[in-house]
Structure 1
Amino acid sequence: MKLKFGIGLLIAALVAIGFYKFAEVNLMKGDPYYVQITTDGEKFTYKADNGQSFTDYRYQLTGYDENGKERALDFNANRDRPLRKSAYLRVSYNTKKQEVTQWEEVQKEAIPAKALAKLE
């Protein structure tokens, strides 16, 4: 009896963890937009509750989806230095959260033609 209860409890825990991870991943997902870094960004620093200082760079850029549709994008790069000028990024814009959830640098060749035409 204890074995069945333990197995049932383990299965319930695994299902709960799986649901949490699925929800967490979906909150990070978004529609891909492409931007080119044209500025150094707006540098700002802040302190955590423990007193540690952090530096971020805020970017407000126009991004384009694979069909060339534009969207104003506002996101931070949590880095000690600005993003490389002229770099191309693919950013994920989550419409439910109304924000950029992640970004990554991509090569020019990886950008869909309609988006690239708008960036050049």
Structure 2
Amino acid sequence: MKKFLIGLVTVIVIGVAGLKIADIVVMGGDSYYVQVTTDGEKETERDDQGQTYTNYHYVLPGYNQNGEEKDMEFSAMKERPLRKQAFLRITWNKNKGVTSYEEVQGKDVPKKAQEKLLEVH
């Protein structure tokens, strides 16, 4: 009985650890950098309770640290558009697309990505 319980606990621990690792692999991704140049496309929607909320949908060229380009498509759930000319670091995952973004300072954008962003604008 003891061996059975030890085995069961071991399987559960390994299963939970495996799920955490899988979540990190799936939700992790590559960093791309964009500069906000538009107000985005405003979308107003309703949730299940009838409350309205606003999204701004963006499609912007993004560049990784090597200057390689990929179109970044994402939405910002905000009452107003993202700040124009702001630099964003976007996490892009091959399975999920854009999984997150955060504003960064221009000095934090890798040199090759920064050069490409300046060419576009």
Bucket of the pairwise TM-score, normalised by the shorter protein: 0.7 to 0.9
Q: Where does structure 1 differ by over 3 angstroms across 4 or more consecutive aligned residues? A: 3-8
Q: SS of the residue aligned with 1:80?
A: coil
Distance 1:100 1:21 in 2: 20
User: CA offsets, 1:35-94, max 9 Å, x none?
Assistant: 001111111122222323222111110011111111111111122221111110111121
Distance 2:108 2:80 in 1: 25
Matched positions, count: 118
Distance 1:7 1:81 in 2: 54
C-alpha deviation, 1:117, in angstroms? 0.8
Gaps of 5+ in 2: none
1:102 is aligned to 2:97: no
Q: SS of the residue aligned with 1:83?
A: coil
C-alpha deviation, 1:5, in angstroms? 3.8
Distance 1:79 1:20 in 2: 31
Which residue is equivalent to 1:46? 45
Q: SS of the residue aligned with 1:8?
A: helix
After TM superposition, the score normalised by the length of structure 1 is: 0.85
Q: SS of the residue aligned with 1:60?
A: strand
RMSD: 1.7
Q: SS of the residue aligned with 2:114?
A: helix
Deviates more, 1:85-94 or 1:4-13: 4-13
Which residue is equivalent to 2:8? 9
C-alpha deviation, 1:4, in angstroms? 4.3
Distance 1:79 1:5 in 2: 52
Contact 1:35 1:91 in 2 (8 A): yes
Corresponding letter in the other structure for 2:91: S
